[in-house]
Amino acid sequence: MPEHHSYAEVWDLQKHLQKKVIASKRSGVIGTPSYLLLCQHKPVFTLGKSGSMDNLVVDKETLEKEETEFFKINRGGDITFHGPGQITGYPILDLDQYYNDVHRYVRELEEVVIRTIATYGIKGARVEGYTGVWIVDDVGRRKICAIGVHMSRWVSLHGFALNVATDLNYFKQIIPCGIVEEDTSVTSISKELNRTVEVSEVMEIIKEEFKSVFGFEYV
């Protein structure tokens, strides 16, 4: 498998797995399967259903020149970037097996990330009124992980994007998540530590923390 996946490829896989889980539920099978996809994308901007095109601050010609893709999708939230050096996680879960509470689901995705970055001595925080995980200190608020989800018959789609060693210059081409406050910016694990952290290393930690938070079993 390639190291960096096209967004369309992984989106198609997500939708295929979601349909598979929904079909399993409709058939009355007890214990429908769940999946956790972790990957790095080729450079791409995605715009959620509540987002505004005004938050993309470059034109299509620039995107084409830089070979950066753009997709409008059905998750919640506004615009964000996915690309190399970032772990994008897509849990395909039947929340009927957990709880029927989207807000709790988002909080628990945040918890997975908070525990993951705590391994590196980074204190993650939640910011009231926003989803995702932030670093909050005297310097300001720096977003390290974006989250946006969608549900169909209580089966989840989309997920989280954790910046590990991401080229943060891409975020200058958008207004990330539509947030315009002066004291907000975007960061990564590598930037916070002032050293390069390997994506593969962080992926293994995420797997264990996801298992811990959701009681997930890998087969």
Mean pLDDT estimate for the chain = 91
Integer-rounded Cα radius of gyration of the chain: 17
Q: Is the pLDDT of residue 63 over 80?
A: yes
What is the torsional sign of CA 180, 107, 134, 47?
A: negative
The string of pLDDT tens digits covering residues 79-104 is 889 999 999 999 999 999 999 999 99
The string of pLDDT tens digits covering residues 145-201 is 999 999 999 999 999 999 999 999 999 887 766 666 667 899 999 999 999 999 999
Q: How confident is the model at residue 1 (pLDDT cuts 50, 70, 90)?
A: very low
At 155, phi and psi to the nearest 5?
A: -110, 125
Predicted TM-score (pTM) of this structure = 0.93
Q: Is residue 72 part of a domain?
A: yes
Q: Is residue 219 part of a domain?
A: no
* CATH code: domain of residue 77: 3.30.930.10
Give me the pLDDT at residue 56, please: 85
Q: Among 104-118, 122-136, 175-189, which is the least confidently predicted range?
A: 175-189
Give me the pLDDT at residue 177, please: 62
CA distance 38 to 161: 10
| Pairwise pLDDT comparison (45 vs 52), residue with the higher score | 45
Q: Is the pLDDT of residue 2 over 60?
A: no
Q: Is residue 94 part of a domain?
A: yes
**For the chain, what is the domain count?**
1
Domain that holds residue 138: 4-214
Catalytic residues: 177
Q: Are strands 155-163 and 140-152 parallel, antiparallel or unpaired?
A: antiparallel
Q: Is the pLDDT of residue 58 over 90?
A: no
| Pairwise pLDDT comparison (175 vs 44), residue with the higher score | 44
Q: Is residue 28 part of a domain?
A: yes
Give me the pLDDT at residue 65, please: 86
CA distance 75 to 87: 17
Q: Is residue 185 part of a domain?
A: yes
